């Protein structure tokens, strides 16, 4: 297994519910370290650009409205097999289908207010990380030196 990085977003419903700490704790306790993190309020342009791949989908406008409706937390998570591990910790996109003990099962309201986003492949992770954290590309984090 390789050390990977993935992009995670705590969506406006997660921030509004006051569960930023609980969500970050789930990542940390499963071996995913936040190596970049910021709270921000996405502009319409940023959200449309981020979700451009979904532009033709019927839910696109609602998704952009939701994602710009309140603050979000953007994170780069690093760890073994980070892309897949993050997706396991999040659970299925639709919380009705999410497994027990996942973030979406425990906190999400519906398929739109589904609390977290995570990159779905290593390639998309690179694209999504550089979209919000271009500076992370040139950093190297050596945790062995720090701990
Ligand atoms: P996310 O992982 O952020 O990627 C795209 C988002 O679109 C997805 O999570 C959902 O929150 C949202 N979405 C809203 N409606 C749908 C739908 N019918 N099918 C898939 N995704 C949807």
- 49-80 pLDDT, tens digit each: 999 999 999 999 999 999 999 999 999 999 99
Cβ proximity of 75 and 20 under 8 Å: no
Q: In the chain, pLDDT over 90 holds for what percent of residues?
A: 90
Share the mean pLDDT of the chain: 95
Q: In 3D, which of 9, 3, 4 has the Cα closest to residue 118?
A: 9
What is the pLDDT, as a whole number, of residue 145? 65
CA of 141 to the centre of ligand 1 (A): 32
Residue 9 has pLDDT above 90, yes or no: yes
CA of 93 to the centre of ligand 1 (A): 7
Which residue among 112, 118, 124 is best mutated to probe the pocket of ligand 1, counting the most ligand atoms within 8 A of its Cβ?
Answer: 112
Tell me the mean pLDDT in the region 106-120: 98
Q: In the chain, pLDDT over 70 holds for what percent of residues?
A: 93
What is the pLDDT, as a whole number, of residue 138? 60
Ligand 1 atom with the shortest distance to the CA of 93: 9
Tell me the mean pLDDT in the region 94-111: 98
CA distances from 120 to 28, 72, 110, 117, 135 (A): 19, 19, 19, 9, 21
pTM for the full predicted model = 0.94
What is the pLDDT, as a whole number, of residue 135? 86
Q: Residue 147 — very low, low, confident or very high, per pLDDT cuts 50/70/90?
A: low
Q: Residue 83 — very low, low, confident or very high, per pLDDT cuts 50/70/90?
A: very high
């Amino acid at each position: 297994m390789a050390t990977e990085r993935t992009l995670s977003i705590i969506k406006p419903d997660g921030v509004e519910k006051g569960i930023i700490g609980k969500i970050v704790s789930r990542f940390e306790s499963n071996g995913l370290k936040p190596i970049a993190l910021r709270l921000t309020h996405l502009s319409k342009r940023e959200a449309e650009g981020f979700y451009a791949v979904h532009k033709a989908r019927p839910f696109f406008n609602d998704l952009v409205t939701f994602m710009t409706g309140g603050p979000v937390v953007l994170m780069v998570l690093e760890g073994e097999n980070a892309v897949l591990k993050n997706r396991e910790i999040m659970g299925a996109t639709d919380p009705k289908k999410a497994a027990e003990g996942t973030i979406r099962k425990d906190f999400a309201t519906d398929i739109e207010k589904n609390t977290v986003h995570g990159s779905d492949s290593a390639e998309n992770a690179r694209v999504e990380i550089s979209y919000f954290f271009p500076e992370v590309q040139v950093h190297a984090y050596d945790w062995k030196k720090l701990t």
